Chain A
Amino acid sequence: MILDKKLEGLLKTKKFFSLSQEEKAFVSAKMTAEEYQNFRLILCGSRNSLKKIRTAPSPHVKENLMAAMRAKKAKKQPLTVSWNAITSYRIPAWQAAASVVFLLCSMFLMKQQVVYVENEMAAPLMVDIDTVYETIYKTDTVFEKVPVFLTGKKNVNVKPSSLERDSNFAEKDANILLTNMETMGNEMNTVLNDISRNRLLADSTPIYKNQIHPASNSWLSSPPRGRTAGEDADLMKFLTEIN
C-alpha cells in the first residue's frame, strides 16, 4: 500500500463524508472510513504540531562558521586570481561609457605631453663623460711545420742483390724526385734529407744527391734487372718440380 499524491490530497482537504462517490470508491479500495479519518487526523495534526517546534540555531553557530569562512578565504586569497569574478562582474552602462571617455582623453593628453617634451629637448644638454673600455682583437699569421711522409711499395718476398735493390728503389725515388723538382724547386734538398733520414723509400740504403741525377746516372733510364715476385715464384716452382 502506498500513500500516493491523490490520496494524500484527499486526506488533507476532505473529510470522509465530504467525498464524492467516485472519491469514496477510490478511498474505499485502499482503506476503511475509520482508517481514513485516523489518517486525516495524523496528517492535519502533524502539519500544525511539527511546524510549531521551529527553532533557530544559536547565534554563535553563525559567528563560528563565518569566522571559519573568512579564515579560509584569507588563507586562499593571495594564491588564486578569481577570473570568474572578474569576467562576470557587471557595472552600470554610464560607468563603462565614462571609462571609455576617460581613456580617450588620457590618450589625447599623452600625445600633447610628447610634443612638449620635444620642445624642451632643443635646449643644450649636459653630457656626462665616462670612461669607456674597448676590447681590441688582433689577428696574426701563425706558421706551422707539418711533416710530409711519402709512401712507396716494396716487395717483401724478394731478396735481390744489394746493388739491384738499391738501383730499383733509387730509380723509383728518382722519378718521384724529378717530378717534385720541377714543381717544388728548393724543397728538393729537404725531401732528399727526409728520404735519407727516414729510410722510407730507400730501405736501409742512403741516397746521395749526386747518384740520382739522370744525366750522370745512365742506369736510371735502363730497364730494371732482377726478378719480379711472380717470376721468382715461377722459378721456385720450376726448381721444386725438377728436384
Chain B
Amino acid sequence: MLFKRKTYHNLSDEELMRFLINDGDDRAFELLYDRYSGKLQCYFYRMLYQDQNKADDFTQDLFMKIVERPEMFDPNRRFSTWLYSVAGNMCKNEYRRNGRYQIVNEVPENPIPECFEYIPEPIDRALFEQQLQQAVNELEETQKQCFILRYQEGLSVKEIANVVDCPEGTVKSRLFYTVRKLSDKLKIFQYS
C-alpha cells in the first residue's frame, strides 16, 4: 500500500537503529530497550557474579551508550551481535578491573551428597540446576561467554563468532570443551 503509517513494531532492530541515529527517535529506542533489556540483564547477571544490582548498572550503562552515541553502531552488522559484543567488552573490562574474574563463593544450600542414589528426584533436579549454575560461574571468561550466548541467549555459532571476534571453528571447539568440563563436574547426576 502506498500510503501507510509507520508502525514501529514491524521494524527490524537495524531499521530502528537507523531512526535512532538519524532522528534521535525515542520511540525506536524504547522498542529496542524492550526487546533486549531482559536478555542483557540476564547476560550481565550470569557473567558478572550473579549480582542483580551490578547487572542493573551494566544494563543501564550499555543502553546509555546507545543514547549518547548511537552512531557507534556499525550498520553492516546485526544489531543483536553488535550489542552482545559491546556487552562482552564491558564484562571484560569489569574482569580486568577486579583482577581477573571473581568466583562466586556461594556455598550451595544443598551440597552434593555422597550417596546420591537415595535422593528423591525433585530434590535431585533442583540440586543439579544449582550445581550447574555454580559450575558455569566457575568457568573461564571465554568459555562462560560462549556457553551463555549459545545455551542461554540462543545465538547461533556464527553470531557468537561475530560477538567474540574469532572463527566459528574456535567457538565450536570452545563449546565442546566447555560442555565436557561441565559434564565431568556434574556426571554424578547422570546415575540419578
Contacts and interface: CB of A to CB of B under 8 A. Distances in A.
A85 B56 contact: no
A53 B24 CA distance: 33
Contacts of A5: 157
A53 B47 CA distance: 13
Given A42-B186, A61-B59, A90-B4, A53 B23 contact: no
B6 to A, nearest CB: 6
A157 interface: no
Given A3-B179, A45-B132, A57-B37, A65 B63 contact: yes
Contact of B3 (A72, A85, A92): A92
Contact of B132 (A46, A57, A58, A76): A46
DSSP majority for the B interface? helix
B186 A73 contact: no
Interface string B3-29: 111100000000000000011101001
Interface in A37-69: 37-39, 41-43, 45-58, 61-62, 64-66, 68-69
Contacts of A234: none
Contacts, number: 141
Nearest to A83: B22
B186 A54 contact: no
A44 to B, nearest CB: 10
Interface stretch (B71-79, B90-98, B170-178): B170-178
Contacts of A84: 22-23
B42 A53 contact: yes
A43 B151 contact: yes
Interface of B: 2-6, 22-24, 26, 29-30, 33, 37-38, 41-42, 45-46, 52, 55-56, 59-60, 63-64, 67-68, 128-129, 132-133, 136, 147-148, 151-152, 157, 169, 172-173, 175-177, 179-180, 182-184, 186-187, 189-190
- By Cβ-Cβ distance, the 10 closest A-B pairs, closest first, are A38-B183, A2-B172, A49-B129, A3-B176, A50-B152, A3-B175, A57-B41, A69-B26, A61-B60, A46-B151
Interface of A: 1-5, 34-35, 37-39, 41-43, 45-58, 61-62, 64-66, 68-70, 72-73, 76, 82, 84-85, 88-93, 95-96
